[in-house]
A and B are shown apart, each in its own frame.
Chain A
Amino acid sequence: MTTSSMAQALNAALRDALREDERVLVFGEDVGPLGGVFRITDGLTKEFGEERCFDTPLAEAGIVGLAVGLAMGGFRPVIEMQFDAFAYPAFEQIASHVAKLRNRTRGRLSLPMVIRIPYAGGIGGVEHHCDSSEAYYAHTPGLKVVTPATADDAYWLLRDAIADPDPVIFMEPKRLYWSKGETSVEDRRAAGFGRAAVLREGRDATLVAYGPTVPVALEAAEAAARDGRDLEVVDLRTIVPFDDATVVSSVRKTGRCVVIQEAQGFAGVGAEIAARVQERCFHSLAAPVLRVTGFDIPYPPPILEHSHLPDADRVLDAVDRLQFDDEPDLLYLAGEAS
């Protein structure tokens, strides 16, 4: 076990992938000598040369389009969009080509490429630097969407993403870049990709979170425990593919569920999760599945972002609304009601 920040873990994953597989290429804006604005590619040009890790001209559609061609030509591009909102110029390439090439060619062509996107807020960033854009990608068939919440997951999920035969949108919660965690030396390849993690076991309700809100869920569970309420915390890790099994078995056990996302709520990933839980766990549910999300507003300016971001208090308010005082529900859960 060693301790590292998520940023360091991502850097290590890129370095190891470049070392192990000659086809891996890293490129984007400022990823070369600067090492990326978040330093995720720090030192890679120095170690692997400009051929393997390089700065492109400033054009996101170009970066993604170039990656499509390189992937068609046998390489494995791992590209960086500098910030969430600056990936939008590339959306056409992503939605019309990256997501569809396998399908259009009946599997004759595939695009093993990774698009890394630092996303979401909580760092006091000005406009266009804090968007939660995961739903756009998750809604696009043909894209896998991954978002780690710990340094260890960041390392292994990125390694898995690079090894994956299909395109992966790798969303990095930028406010967790500097949070430290243990990273294991044991090989955890393919252990987390497509599998949610139960980060904390509990009996009373399930909190489902991903990316930037995972620490929020853990903090809420911690606080609830002091009030005698035992919450389970599930970290999705990958949004696509979605791990129904882990989420469903947790909610069937607890009978209550709160879904937490930083993104605006309307038509978001949380809505999908709530629907899936409700479809699969209806008879186990003692209360409606609730969502705790950001508001349906453009991401606020720095001085107001704390009003927008879901915090542990907002989560606990939702937990309080899970009808714990309803007699029939308790009986139902105890198996005493029909």
Chain B
Amino acid sequence: MSVDVLLPSPVPVRFVAEDGTAVPPPTGYRVPEGERLLEGFRRMVVGRRFDRQATALTKQGRLAVYPSSRGQEACQIAGVLALRDDDWLFPTYRDSVALVARGLDPVEVLTLLRGGWHCGYDPAATRVAPQCTPLATQTIHAVGMADALRRKGEDGVVMAFIGDGGTSEGDFHEALNYAAVLRAPVVFFVQNNKYAISVPLAKQSAAPALAYKGIGYGIRSEQVDGNDLVAVLAVLDAAVEHARTGGGPFLVEAHTYRMDPHTNADDASRYREKQEVERWEAADPLARLETYLRERGLLDADAVGAAHEAAEKFAARVREDMNADPEADPFELFEHVFAEATPQLREQRALLASELED
């Protein structure tokens, strides 16, 4: 592949301006159908409401911790809309909204952050790997899974989510290289939300854009306005198709912004100005999409109202389901270490049993 084909656009791909008006569409990408954009809007509304609910649950002590993705909804939702049910997703701790949007049970999704178990959903059934905390380690797993699908003759694609900070880890670079050499059907989706906890992008990388990290490995790459759902979806559609049709891996960098602190436990005032956050309010992905869809006659006040109503219902259910202590069986601690517990584990189980009897 020639260098020109691999290189990202010099400026982020965009379909919709911040004020919601359409800009001349960039070449090489198709505008997603209206019905998918509407579905994107509905899921963004639910996703944002879910995210707010989850943050509220930390205050009530119902979640141990919650990393919000407020402001990143266009990425969260487009990331899953671009996938088929038989495709795989390798998410991070920040991607709970994407998982809920993919249809996973919200309580199962929140099990990790609630502290009930390390992963609450069934990865095999949902084709969603456990949310990954050790940064960038999931990207090479995604390559392995993509290679597995190829070997089995399935035409599934794997999408790995990763943050801007995570792209500095060695594992990310090994994953890019492996994916390219193996021509693995994998899409690396970088949500560049400008911060890795407190560390701003400028201290993270001197690359012109993170999307340029693909070229050195021979990976086709693109950068996109991450707060423009139309653009993110269009680019991810192209990336997924590229991977699915044997073109090999694809790297997409979405420029977005983490509106909330790193988690509820973080104090963002220590490292960024309020004004900076306020400036990003103007780039809100949800308001932008709503204006765009309304102006094109795809959305009206009733539909907007219905979306918010559905979101309220969803949040109410989450609130209710989370309003109880999770079930906790201490003996389960010994159950999943190996397929069969070792004699030592059985001994330790007995010790715990005797302690609990006292």
| Residues of A participating in the B interface, judged by any CB pair closer than 8 Å | 29-30, 32-35, 37, 55, 57-62, 85-86, 88-89, 124-129, 266, 295-298, 300-304, 307-308, 313-314, 317
Contacting chain A: which of B32-40, B192-200, B231-239?
A: B192-200
B183-209 near A? 1/0 per residue, CB < 8 Å? 000000000000011110001110000
Contact (Cβ within 8 A) A295 B355: no
Sample of 15 A–B contacts (CB below 8 Å) = A29-B196, A32-B199, A57-B199, A59-B169, A89-B170, A89-B171, A125-B64, A127-B118, A266-B344, A295-B348, A296-B348, A297-B337, A303-B115, A307-B356, A314-B355
Task: Give CA–CA (A125, B358) in the complex, Å.
Answer: 27
Contact (Cβ within 8 A) A58 B166: yes
Contact A33-B270, Cβ < 8 Å, known A88-B134, A295-B348, A302-B115: yes
Task: Give CA–CA (A304, B332) in the complex, Å.
Answer: 9
Contact (Cβ within 8 A) B133 A126: yes
Which residues on the B side are within 8 Å of A303 (C-beta)? 114-116, 325-326, 328
Which residues on the B side are within 8 Å of A34 (C-beta)? 197-198, 270-271
Which residues on the A side are within 8 Å of B337 (C-beta)? 296-298
Which residues on the B side are within 8 Å of A29 (C-beta)? 196-197, 199
Which residue of B333, B334, B337 has the most chain A CB atoms within 10 A of its CB atom?
B333
Contact (Cβ within 8 A) B115 A30: no
Name the CB-closest residue of B to A264: B348
Contact (Cβ within 8 A) B358 A126: no
Shortest 9 CB-CB distances between A and B: which pairs?
A: A302-B115, A34-B198, A307-B330, A57-B168, A58-B165, A58-B168, A303-B328, A127-B118, A295-B348
Contact (Cβ within 8 A) A30 B333: no
Contact (Cβ within 8 A) B330 A33: no
Task: Give CA–CA (A126, B170) in the complex, Å.
Answer: 24
Task: Give CA–CA (A89, B170) in the complex, Å.
Answer: 9
Contact (Cβ within 8 A) A126 B64: yes
Which residues on the B side are within 8 Å of A88 (C-beta)? 134
Q: With both chains docked as a complex, state the minimum distance between the C-beta of A102 and any C-beta of chain B, in angstroms.
A: 26
Contact (Cβ within 8 A) B134 A86: yes
Q: With both chains docked as a complex, state the minimum distance between the C-beta of A98 and any C-beta of chain B, in angstroms.
A: 17
| Residues of B participating in the A interface, judged by any CB pair closer than 8 Å | 64-65, 112-118, 133-135, 165-166, 168-171, 196-199, 203-205, 270-271, 325-326, 328, 330, 332-334, 337, 342, 344-345, 348, 352, 355-356, 358
Contact (Cβ within 8 A) B198 A126: no
Task: Give CA–CA (A129, B115) in the complex, Å.
Answer: 12
Which residues on the B side are within 8 Å of A314 (C-beta)? 355
Name the CB-closest residue of A to B335: A297
Contact (Cβ within 8 A) A58 B169: yes
Contact (Cβ within 8 A) A301 B168: no
Which residues on the A side are within 8 Å of B332 (C-beta)? 304
* Choice from B168, B170, B270, B330 contacting A35 with Cβ under 8 Å: B270
Q: With both chains docked as a complex, state the minimum distance between the C-beta of A214 and any C-beta of chain B, in angstroms.
A: 21
Contact (Cβ within 8 A) A301 B116: yes
Contact (Cβ within 8 A) A58 B198: no
Q: With both chains docked as a complex, state the minimum distance between the C-beta of B154 and any C-beta of chain A, in angstroms.
A: 30
Which residues on the A side are within 8 Å of B198 (C-beta)? 30, 32-34, 55
Task: Give CA–CA (A248, B134) in the complex, Å.
Answer: 41
Contact (Cβ within 8 A) A126 B197: no
Contact A128-B133, Cβ < 8 Å, known A57-B204, A58-B204: yes
Which residues on the B side are within 8 Å of A35 (C-beta)? 270
Q: With both chains docked as a complex, state the minimum distance between the C-beta of B161 and any C-beta of chain A, in angstroms.
A: 16
Contact A313-B358, Cβ < 8 Å, known A55-B203, A124-B64, A303-B328: yes
Which residues on the A side are within 8 Å of B134 (C-beta)? 85-86, 88-89, 128
Q: With both chains docked as a complex, state the minimum distance between the C-beta of A274 and any C-beta of chain B, in angstroms.
A: 16
Q: A57-B168, A297-B334, A297-B345 known; 7 other A-B pairs, CB under 8 Å?
A: A34-B198, A37-B197, A58-B168, A62-B170, A88-B134, A300-B333, A308-B333
Contact (Cβ within 8 A) A295 B352: yes
Task: Give CA–CA (A62, B332) in the complex, Å.
Answer: 38
Contact (Cβ within 8 A) A295 B334: yes
Q: With both chains docked as a complex, state the minimum distance between the C-beta of B80 and any C-beta of chain A, in angstroms.
A: 23
Which residues on the B side are within 8 Å of A298 (C-beta)? 118, 337
Q: With both chains docked as a complex, state the minimum distance between the C-beta of A293 and any C-beta of chain B, in angstroms.
A: 9
Contact (Cβ within 8 A) B333 A297: yes
Contact (Cβ within 8 A) B65 A126: yes
Which residues on the A side are within 8 Å of B356 (C-beta)? 307
Contact (Cβ within 8 A) B205 A57: yes
Task: Give CA–CA (A88, B134) in the complex, Å.
Answer: 9
Name the CB-closest residue of B to A293: B348
Which residues on the B side are within 8 Å of A301 (C-beta)? 112, 115-118
Q: With both chains docked as a complex, state the minimum distance between the C-beta of A10 and any C-beta of chain B, in angstroms.
A: 18
Task: Give CA–CA (A128, B135) in the complex, Å.
Answer: 11
Task: Give CA–CA (A129, B65) in the complex, Å.
Answer: 12
* Choice from B133, B270, B344 contacting A127 with Cβ under 8 Å: B133
Contact (Cβ within 8 A) B170 A61: yes
Which residues on the A side are within 8 Å of B114 (C-beta)? 303
Q: With both chains docked as a complex, state the minimum distance between the C-beta of A313 and any C-beta of chain B, in angstroms.
A: 7
Which residue of A37, A301, A303, A307 has the most chain B CB atoms within 10 A of its CB atom?
A301
